Structure 1
Amino acid sequence: MLTRETLNEANRYVNTLAQLTIWPTGVGEELSEYVAEVIRVIRQSGLDNSTHAMSTDIEGDYDDVLDLVKRAAFVLYDHGYRTQVSLQLDMRPGFSGQMRHKVELVDEILNER
């Protein structure tokens, strides 16, 4: 049952770290041109993001992240391409800035050794 309390909970900020990969199938061996169009949407979103060789990390509110995943996936789909999406989410209450902090923590541990 939806009450004022559950509605307020549904509208709260939920820090979400996402690892996202979107690619078309059946277009040949080189995918960089297609992936670049997806990355353009991600970078223009305003959400914190970092692109790597095999995926892109995105951090923000849960609803904003999922909205961006949908918009990014439809970049290829709307052009008629069969589109594959791989998504992993880490929702961690009370935290933010995890995209960079997790890497800094590992680097710190490595520097101690």
Structure 2
Amino acid sequence: MLVAFSVAPSGSHDDDGSVHDAVAAAVRIVRASGLPNHTDSMFTTIEGDWDEVFAVIKAATDAVGAWGPRVSLVLKADIRAGRTGELTGKVERLETALAEAAPSGATAAP
């Protein structure tokens, strides 16, 4: 399964409204898990089985709790039994489809 999640404290944060230190604590936990993962500006996506992915998300959420009295957690899951490598596989299939659908002489945008 793939789970994209965003976790952040609410109720307390830096003077400029940034939550990067709390998010960094969560991402450290994800990366230390050894599970395939990807972080972008909005979400961190983890790949693995149900129990291992949600154990990491729980630990990351608990870590963020140190930065405030409340924690906001957003999740989106793609549950597809028997599939692995989908963290990159889905994107590769999309890029292939875009390249194949490009009109003659045109190139796919970055």
TM-score by length of 1: 0.81
CA deviation after TM superposition for structure 1 residue 57, in Å: 0.7
* Structure 1, unaligned runs of 5 or more: 1-15
Q: 1:95 aligns with which of 75, 83, 99?
A: 83
The residue identity in structure 1 corresponding to 2:92 is: E
C-alpha RMSD of the superposition: 1.3
Worse overlay, 46-55 or 31-40: 31-40
- Distance of 2:68 and 2:87 partners within structure 1: 32
Say how many residue pairs are matched: 98
Structure 2 portions without partners, runs of 5+:
103-110
Secondary structure of 1:54's counterpart equals coil
* Greater Cα offset, 40-49 or 72-81: 72-81
Matches within 5 A, 1:1-113: 16-26=1-11, 27-28=13-14, 29-112=17-100, 113=102
Distance across 1 between alignment mates of 2:69 and 2:31: 21
TM-score by length of 2: 0.83
Deviations 1:22-51 (A, max 9, x none): 001122411111111110011001110000
SS at structure 2 position matched to 1:33:
helix
Mapped partners of 1:31, 1:92: distance in 2: 32
Identity level (%): 35
Q: 1:62-81 deviations in whole A, cap 9, x for unaligned? A: 11001111111000224553
Aligned counterparts of 1:31 and 1:38: Cα–Cα separation in 2: 11
1:23–1:33 Cα change, 3 Å: same
